[in-house]
Amino acid sequence: MLRRTMTALAMTALALSGALAGTAASAAPAVKRAVDCNHSVTHENPGKVSGTFIGSFYLKDGPYAACGNVKKFAEGTKFWIWCGTYNAYNNHWAYGRVAGTETKGWIPVKDLMWGGPMHAC
């Protein structure tokens, strides 16, 4: 009887350790995606599409939050949208130039109030 009880306990412990190992594997952190701050812009077309910043934001040197800052601009700044792209996280970004300047960069579309067609970069 003692032997069967010990065997049952051993089997239970083995089953639990397997279940816990499976849980630990599924709780592993997600793989970090590559950030491409050197995203190519296939055309720089000033066009007629513009937007305004809905807050004070930095233009970025690539279509990711982790990319470097170009310059910070105030809410209401006019931005000429030249093209747009979706990054690896499926976030939509616009590339263009700040009106009245030669400053170019990327900004998340969610940070702009804009209208009109946006060509793909």
Higher pLDDT, 120 or 76: 76
CA-CA distance, 39 to 30, in Å (whole number)? Answer: 23
| Phi, psi of 20, rounded to the nearest 5 degrees | -65, -40
Residue 28 has pLDDT above 90, yes or no: no
pLDDT at 54: 97
Residue 11 has pLDDT above 70, yes or no: no
pLDDT class of 15 with cuts at 50, 70, 90: very low
Tens of pLDDT, residue by residue over 29-61, are 554 567 888 887 866 666 689 999 999 999 999
pLDDT at 113: 96
Q: What would the mean pLDDT of 69-90 be, rounded to a whole number? A: 95
